[in-house]
Amino acid sequence: MRATLIHGPGDIRSEHVPDPELVDDGDAIVRVVAACVCGSDLWPYRGDKSDTEPERIGHEFVGIVEQVGNAVSALTVGDFVVAPFVYSDGTCAHCRNGVNTSCVAGGFWGKPDGDGRLIDGGQGEQVRVPFADQTLVATPGEPPAAMVPALLGLSDVMGTGHHAAMAAGVRAGGSAVVVGDGAVGLCGVLAARRLGAERIIAMSRHAPRQEVARAFGATDIVEARGDDGVKAVMDLTDGIGADSVLECVGTGGSMQQAIASTRPGGHVGYVGVPHDVVLPIGTMFGNNVSVGGGVAPVRAYLAELMAEVWEKRLDPSPVFDLELPLDRVAEAYAAMDERRAIKSLLWA
């Protein structure tokens, strides 16, 4: 089959690799229908990659169940499924606590599992899925083609934006700021609206992203950053700051922006993989600003969000503004790296 490998900074290739086979009784083989490129895939693409060996890459995909192991009971060959961006056993204490990303037996796509056996990446034609019954969530029936991008959004970005909103304590009638206008930040806007925030301030200086943010429910756009950005948020919130701030970037500057924009007693929910983030404990303490979130356990939210996508009440698909066939994955990365695309979808 074809799969995507990263050979080094800026070096993404679509290559022929062995087809996956069932290994454990709980495995399923999924034929990928669509995958996509994540903002976090850009970190190794931009040079934050320590391994010297080529590695499979991609952690977001939807597809059709093609084979199932003997122990698989919840899924049937032919099911359309959404894969969350980590696999998990669904039964350990952490999974039961809704933190599937900390599953004792789980892991990331494209990496070896605990026994050193490769788990396929998501940007390929097929994926062997461990703990298939627990990892995958099937749609109620075959989705129309037009719904596939929205379902693919549940694999990571929509669930991650929702996690930021939950961690930030977004409530009906409250105010929210979203720092970051990537696909996750935009989904954070959508999640905040879904949770009933009355005022949603999106921080963005890119017209096409501002447009998506407004379509997703942003009531205000702030282009300024740093102290000017904080001042703009303060002006919009009567000098109080926002109840909830969603930090969807992961840099020191974005976290600083987030914390300074939060009202005393408010909450920052962060989902951007932290790079050079130093938390200002003094400000946090003095203002009672909490910081929560982390790697989003999207599996825990999948059924709830999928039901709304299925009923066409939730649609994160506008974050995909570039669609390419899987073998043109290198172009998909380049377009995101150069900010020509918000998020690239790959048809397998």
Q: Are 241 and 215 in contact (CB under 8 A)?
A: no
Q: How far is the CB of 292 from a copy of itself (least distance, A)?
A: 3
Strands (E), the chain: 2-8, 11-16, 28-36, 55-56, 61-68, 80-83, 86-87, 107-108, 126-129, 137-138, 175-179, 199-203, 220-222, 242-247, 262-270, 290-293, 320-325, 343-347
Nearer of residues 180 and 297 to a copy of itself, judged by Cβ = 297
Nearer of residues 151 and 166 to a copy of itself, judged by Cβ = 166
- Taking residue 180's Cβ as centre, other Cβ atoms within 10 Å add up to 29
Q: How far is the CB of 240 from a copy of itself (least distance, A)?
A: 5
Q: Which two tokens stand for residue 138?
A: 């099937």
Nearer of residues 10 and 274 to a copy of itself, judged by Cβ = 274
Nearer of residues 216 and 270 to a copy of itself, judged by Cβ = 270
Amino acid at 13: R
Rounded Cα–Cα distance for residues 116 and 144 (Å): 38
Q: How far is the CB of 181 from a copy of itself (least distance, A)?
A: 21
Q: How far is the CB of 239 from a copy of itself (least distance, A)?
A: 8
Q: Which two tokens stand for residue 348?
A: 């397998």
| Residue matched to tokens 């949770």 | 195
Rounded Cα–Cα distance for residues 135 and 199 (Å): 35
Residues that bind a copy of itself (CB under 8 A): 93-94, 97-99, 101-102, 167, 238, 240, 263-265, 267, 270, 273-274, 277-279, 281-282, 284-295, 297
Q: How far is the CB of 98 from a copy of itself (least distance, A)?
A: 6
Q: How far is the CB of 51 from a copy of itself (least distance, A)?
A: 18
Q: Which two tokens stand for residue 169?
A: 């304590």
Q: Which two tokens stand for residue 84?
A: 């969350």
Nearer of residues 74 and 105 to a copy of itself, judged by Cβ = 105
Nearer of residues 295 and 334 to a copy of itself, judged by Cβ = 295
